[in-house]
Structure 1
């Protein structure tokens, strides 16, 4: 049984412009399942330096960081782990007795998901998008040894810059480009104005081996649904959300839950009461593409 909240309870938190419920429900459910004396609470702030000073001064164990604080928080920390250095972006802070270290568990989640799928690093890929999450995906692929890829992005500033940063090709339009690994990191297929958009043409989907869509709402986008009908391997944005939250949990507690415990917490976090969290994640995703 989880101990009652008391003076020894360790606090973890999140900072976001639009706080949601997914992280709170996921982490707190795991604390209950594992009988850990922790509590997790979402916050927002208009004074980031003061908030981070509070994390340090009050001994807050861990702090998740969402838009628009992921880059602004870096100068306020004592150091960056390799995951954050890879993309110059922080979504997780760990407080070790007043020393604050930044991590990026989106990057870690993508690496883990692709590695689990067993996709050979020699596999060519096409990645659509050039925003913040696209950077996490490109960096993760580079870290896994993927050397042959093309960034497709209409933004003539962020597209070429992302490609150059990781040694990939760039083109503004998809044209006739195809690859065994297709990755969507744009809002195409996301619930909202572009929910019916297909991220890749039918013939490219039919010819690929793996379809990876970072969009998490809906869990199955038109791109993934079409890939499923063709019997392709699917990697989902929903899996990325769960994996990144899991890696935060492990960083904060030093405990790695079982697969069944993670599945239970994820189902609880996705319940009707947490739909708002997925809406916020979608908002953040759109903001990262600008």
Structure 2
């Protein structure tokens, strides 16, 4: 894919501690498909306030925000959308003539996926994790009407805070519990990570579960997802989350909503790493 930016090209970026390639390839592929004079670039920073000021000063249209910047961005913007305010975590900045508005499209994507799959809100769940993405998922579950949940986190302070905020309980370990839905919101299973070949829950809990949800997107079929598929369990994958949240970012930046075929083509291209 060839892109030739001009002086009129609209720039969008992402800020992450460890910049990835999915968003770059996804957005730029859609820009080219739709004939939009936009360009997307992944970046990192050691000075977040200066980077956000640069977005405003340089007229950068949009910015995807990943760890470890999701919470620190809250104090640096002019307006916070309810999707971000509800969970005090940001993953998207939109710059309109110097006015920065923050969103959380992770939250929006999870809400959409739960509705699309028609997961019964009466389903009890265990969510492993307590970071920014865990906030988005737990808040989406809460706002979708899921009332019986357990936050499993080794960090007691963060785990308890998330559980208390969303009305769930905290446990340092799932133990012998086997709720109907298991959700991984940790790096366990992430390609290239120290726990790439591990499972976030005991096999007995996976066998007893009715739904498996893994937010890890790379690889698309983590060990957790592979184990669930081998058992014939319905799954929600991290690739689905990252694709939906990236789509909502794209719409916020451009005002254009691609059709399903265009999105599928962009996802397929983004995965060719």
- Fold in common (TM above 0.5): yes
- In structure 2, the CA distance between the partners of 1:42 and 1:173, relative to structure 1 (3 Å rule), is closer
Residue 285 (structure 1) aligns with: none
Residue 268 (structure 1) aligns with: 269
Unpaired segments of 5 or more residues in structure 2?
none
Query: Does the CA contact (< 8 Å) of 2:71 and 2:132 recur in 1?
Result: no
- 3-state SS, counterpart of residue 73 of structure 1: helix
- In structure 2, the CA distance between the partners of 1:129 and 1:262, relative to structure 1 (3 Å rule), is same
The separation in 2 between residues aligned to 1:177 and 1:230, in whole angstroms, is: 19
The separation in 2 between residues aligned to 1:18 and 1:151, in whole angstroms, is: 26
**Matched residue pairs, number?**
271
1:106 to partner: Cα distance: 1.5
Residue 201 (structure 2) aligns with: 200
- In structure 2, the CA distance between the partners of 1:199 and 1:48, relative to structure 1 (3 Å rule), is closer
Residue 62 (structure 1) aligns with: 62
1:38 to partner: Cα distance: 1.4
The separation in 2 between residues aligned to 1:3 and 1:202, in whole angstroms, is: 46
The separation in 1 between residues aligned to 2:187 and 2:254, in whole angstroms, is: 33
- 3-state SS, counterpart of residue 257 of structure 2: coil
1:3 to partner: Cα distance: 9.9
Instruction: Say whether 1:225 aligns with 2:216.
Output: no
Residue 108 (structure 1) aligns with: 108
Which digits, 9 at most, give the CA deviation of each residue in 1:218-265, with x for residues without a partner? Answer: 222222212112211111111111111111101101111111111111
- In structure 2, the CA distance between the partners of 1:71 and 1:129, relative to structure 1 (3 Å rule), is closer
- In structure 2, the CA distance between the partners of 1:98 and 1:134, relative to structure 1 (3 Å rule), is same
Residue 238 (structure 2) aligns with: 237
- 3-state SS, counterpart of residue 49 of structure 1: helix
The separation in 1 between residues aligned to 2:165 and 2:176, in whole angstroms, is: 24
The separation in 1 between residues aligned to 2:126 and 2:103, in whole angstroms, is: 26
The separation in 1 between residues aligned to 2:5 and 2:199, in whole angstroms, is: 48
Residue 9 (structure 1) aligns with: 9
Query: Does the CA contact (< 8 Å) of 1:3 and 1:37 recur in 2?
Result: no
Unpaired segments of 5 or more residues in structure 1?
273-290
1:4 to partner: Cα distance: 6.1
Which digits, 9 at most, give the CA deviation of each residue in 1:167-216, with x for residues without a partner? Answer: 00122221221111111122333333323322223332222211001122
Kindly report the root-mean-square deviation, in angstroms, between the aligned alpha carbons of the 2 structures: 1.9
1:125-164 paired onto structure 2 within 5 Å: 125-164=125-164
- In structure 2, the CA distance between the partners of 1:169 and 1:47, relative to structure 1 (3 Å rule), is closer
Residue 45 (structure 2) aligns with: 45
Query: Does the CA contact (< 8 Å) of 1:94 and 1:102 recur in 2?
Result: yes
- Taking structure 2 as the reference length, the TM-score comes to 0.92
- Taking structure 1 as the reference length, the TM-score comes to 0.87
